[in-house]
Amino acid sequence: MTGIRVYDTLSGDKRTLEPIEPNKIRLYACGVTPYDNSHIGHARCYVAFDIVYRYLKLAGLDVTYVRNFTDVDDKIINRANERGMKAVDLAEENIQAFYRDMDALSIARPDQEPRVSTSMPQIIALIERLIGNGMAYASEGDVYYAVEKFQSYGKLGKRTLEDMQAGARVEVSEKKRHPMDFALWKAAKPGEPAWESPWGQGRPGWHIECSAMSMHAFGPCVDIHCGGQDLIFPHHENEIAQSEGATGQNFVNYWLHNGFVNVDNEKMSKSLGNFFTIKDVLQRYEPQVLRLFMVSTHYRSPINFSDAALDEAADRIAYFYETLRKLDAFLDQAGGVGAPFGPLPGEAFLEEFEARFREAMDEDFNTLRVLGQLAEAFKLANEVLMMRKAKQLPNALAAAKLLREKLAYADTVLQLFGADPADYLDRHKTKAAARRGLSLDWIAEKVGDRLVARSEKNWAEADRVRDELLAAGVVLMDGAQGTDWMVKDVRDAAPAAE
């Protein structure tokens, strides 16, 4: 028993996470087919499961995380042919790009990352086992899974074979015994990469690799298997059929599926062509912004992608880092002020921080509740920063130190506050200005003009320059050290109504 409750797609309910082996978690995530750049749907998926992975570790579990690359696939072969290159090279190129995106988003590397191209023996062995069991049959160089042989086929997608055939859009092949039978092995066509097998030259079908890799890494059963909601059927359904059909044992104890990224309230998908790559988004926004955006909706619900939503996240992260910058400066300069006395500001909140964080995350990784907690933490930080009276300094400093610790604790999972605040704010301002089509030089010039006017107490001119900047989206903040500025990302909240 772990006290962690997770929503499991198969049972349709939240269930307490009970590891197969005490204190150990076998976690498998379906990886990408590296035929193109990764998009924000991938970002959502792998951020969501990165948080799962990091949280389970924080909760003291010994987690082994496996995520595959489906690097042998029609789409890769077709794309490589279009570009006149070898499929392996295209896959490798996209895998490297995938790593750049994932690393930028602070998504931890899994413990193992098997590839189809290097897992052929396991895949072939599994297919042979299924044929031996009578669950699969060879047919003219292909091998198909006989869905009718698997009693509970359809249990994950909650539909029966009859349901599926009713709306069937599946092409009927004469090689198949049942229209829903799916390929485990495909005979090689001319010019395609192929591997030797008992059924001749060929390559694996789509779903078999995850069954083979998962069972190779973990044995017949894993604790958690996750992926996007679109994989429930047919991919995960077929994995269940393959794995359980081979072993006769339960394959996965908890199925976790993340919701889609929508664009304009419509599903973002490759076929609709309305997708954004991670690379493009990261040119306009810092990775922390995208990460915050992703955790600002529960991972199972759909999330709507828009500039307005990213702008709001960008402002929020800027607020976090602005506070951290001040907090760090305070901690740096406020040494040797004596011992704290009496209750610290926010003492109860600070004491309960970890427990509350755990409670929220235990409830199916409820990052929203954590965000509420962060709101409190940053308010407290700013409050502490205002306690500048000498007598209060020891307590303010002690609270500030604790706050930094608590935020670091939460950040082992969230990965939002790892950057140097000053560096982050520089990058943020550069990108925020660019988004508004403003040059940093122009802003600096205007700020300079206004400083001159202010030093002459020419308030009318100072205000005029400030209004000019404001109209462009730049907000000024006069302080003791001079004038700082920020780009106000959030425009009028009202969307364009028709």
Q: Name residues contacting RNA, limited to 273-292 (CB under 7 A).
A: none
Count of residues of this chain found to bind RNA when the rule CB under 7 A is applied: 86
Query: What residues have CB less than 8 Å from 218, skipping those under 6 apart?
Result: 26, 28, 64, 66
**Smallest distance, RNA to C-beta of residue 360, A:** 8
Options 455, 493, 496, 498; binder of RNA; rule CB under 7 A: 493
**Smallest distance, RNA to C-beta of residue 79, A:** 12
Q: Is there a contact between 255 and 235 (Cβ–Cβ < 8 Å)?
A: no
Which residue matches tokens 């889609």? Answer: 260
Residues 383-402 that bind RNA (CB under 7 A): 383, 385-386
Piece of the chain touching RNA by CB under 7 A; list 92-100, 109-117, 364-372, 420-428: 364-372
Q: Is there a contact between 401 and 332 (Cβ–Cβ < 8 Å)?
A: no
Q: Does 75 bind RNA (CB under 7 A)?
A: yes
Minimum CB distance to RNA smaller for 339 or for 494? 494
Residues 428-467 that bind RNA (CB under 7 A): 454, 459, 462-463, 466
**Smallest distance, RNA to C-beta of residue 132, A:** 25
In angstroms, the first-to-last Cα distance of the chain is: 53
Options 379, 388, 391, 436; binder of RNA; rule CB under 7 A: 379
Give the phi and the psi of residue 257 in degrees, each rounded to 5: -130, 130
Options 120, 170, 188, 334; binder of RNA; rule CB under 7 A: 170
**Smallest distance, RNA to C-beta of residue 64, A:** 20
Q: Is there a contact between 417 and 289 (Cβ–Cβ < 8 Å)?
A: no
**What stretch of H or E contains 28?**
strand 24-29
Minimum CB distance to RNA smaller for 24 or for 189? 189
Minimum CB distance to RNA smaller for 20 or for 175? 175
Residues 237-276 that bind RNA (CB under 7 A): 258-261, 265-271
**Smallest distance, RNA to C-beta of residue 325, A:** 11
Q: Which contacts qualify for 476-480: CB closer than 8 Å, 24 or more apart?
A: 476/447, 476/450, 478/454
The widest CA-to-CA distance across the chain, in whole angstroms, is 91
**Smallest distance, RNA to C-beta of residue 336, A:** 25
- What does each C-alpha distance from 70 to 85, 143, 209, 239 come to in angstroms? 18, 19, 7, 14
Q: Can you tell me the distance from the alpha carbon of 291 to that of 49, in angstroms, rounded to the nearest whole number?
A: 12
Piece of the chain touching RNA by CB under 7 A; list 79-87, 110-118, 302-310, 407-415: 302-310
Piece of the chain touching RNA by CB under 7 A; list 76-84, 96-104, 145-153, 474-482: 474-482
Piece of the chain touching RNA by CB under 7 A; list 83-91, 185-193, 366-374, 426-434: 366-374
Structure tokens at 292: 């915050």
Options 20, 58, 220, 233; binder of RNA; rule CB under 7 A: 233
Residues 173-202 that bind RNA (CB under 7 A): none
Options 114, 204, 227, 473; binder of RNA; rule CB under 7 A: 227
**What stretch of H or E contains 394?**
helix 393-414
Q: Is 16 helix (H, G, I), strand (E, B) or coil?
A: strand
Options 89, 111, 148, 163; binder of RNA; rule CB under 7 A: 163
Piece of the chain touching RNA by CB under 7 A; list 53-61, 135-143, 299-307, 438-446: 299-307
**Smallest distance, RNA to C-beta of residue 53, A:** 15
Q: Can you tell me the distance from the alpha carbon of 121 to that of 115, in angstroms, rounded to the nearest whole number?
A: 12
Q: Which contacts qualify for 476-485: CB closer than 8 Å, 24 or more apart?
A: 476/447, 476/450, 478/454, 482/451, 483/447, 483/450, 483/451, 485/429, 485/443, 485/447
**Smallest distance, RNA to C-beta of residue 46, A:** 8
Q: Does 468 bind RNA (CB under 7 A)?
A: no
Residues 78-107 that bind RNA (CB under 7 A): none
Which residue matches tokens 């970002």? Answer: 43
Residue of 352, 365, 188, 368 lying closest to 292 (CA atoms): 368
Q: Can you tell me the distance from the alpha carbon of 394 to that of 96, in angstroms, rounded to the nearest whole number?
A: 49
Minimum CB distance to RNA smaller for 198 or for 490? 490
Query: What residues have CB less than 8 Å from 126, skipping those under 6 apart?
Result: 208, 211, 212, 215, 242, 246
Minimum CB distance to RNA smaller for 341 or for 459? 459
Piece of the chain touching RNA by CB under 7 A; list 83-91, 104-112, 336-344, 378-386: 378-386
Which amino acid belongs to residue 84?
G
Residues 16-55 that bind RNA (CB under 7 A): 30, 32-33, 39, 41-42, 44-45
Residues 314-343 that bind RNA (CB under 7 A): 315-316, 319, 322-323
Give the phi and the psi of residue 267 in degrees, each rounded to 5: -55, 130
**Smallest distance, RNA to C-beta of residue 271, A:** 4
Options 366, 393, 404, 427; binder of RNA; rule CB under 7 A: 366
Minimum CB distance to RNA smaller for 133 or for 259? 259
